[in-house]
């Protein structure tokens, strides 16, 4: 995944500026980003606080680790079944 140059706190601050009445074009110009990037942020992070974002990142990381563990266990299970199914 591509690393963003903005922190979650900066993204939330930009969205709050927009919600406070500042035009999206001005917010984007101030950050040096494309409007589409801003609207993607808005769709993803709208209504969130910094603490919510930290929790979201923690949950995403935990989900990634659990998926990796599941994949490894599923592969081990398949290998064991293949070994046991062979006749000696």
The pTM of this model reads 0.58
Structurally, the chain folds into a number of domains equal to: 2
Same domain, yes or no, for 35 and 69? no
Give the residue carrying structure tokens 């398949």. 78
pLDDT digits (tens, 9 = 90+) for 8-61: 888 889 999 999 999 999 999 999 999 999 999 999 888 778 788 888 889 999
d(CA 75, CA 72): 5
Q: 63: domain range?
A: 50-87
What pLDDT is recorded for position 50?
76
Same domain, yes or no, for 56 and 30? no
Of 51, 53, 48, 55, which is closest to residue 19 (Cα–Cα)? Answer: 48
Same domain, yes or no, for 20 and 44? yes
Same domain, yes or no, for 40 and 1? yes
Same domain, yes or no, for 34 and 61? no
pLDDT digits (tens, 9 = 90+) for 67-85: 999 999 999 999 999 999 8
CB distance 13 to 27 below 8 Å: no
């Amino acid at each position: 995944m591509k690393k963003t140059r903005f922190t979650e706190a900066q993204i939330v601050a930009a969205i709050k500026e927009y919600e406070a009445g500042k035009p999206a074009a001005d917010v984007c110009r101030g950050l040096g980003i494309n409007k589409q990037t801003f609207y993607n942020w808005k769709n993803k992070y709208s209504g969130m606080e910094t603490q919510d974002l930290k929790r979201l990142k923690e949950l995403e990381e935990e989900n990634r680790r659990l998926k990796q563990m599941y994949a490894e266990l599923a592969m081990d299970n398949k290998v064991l079944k293949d070994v046991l199914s062979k006749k000696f």
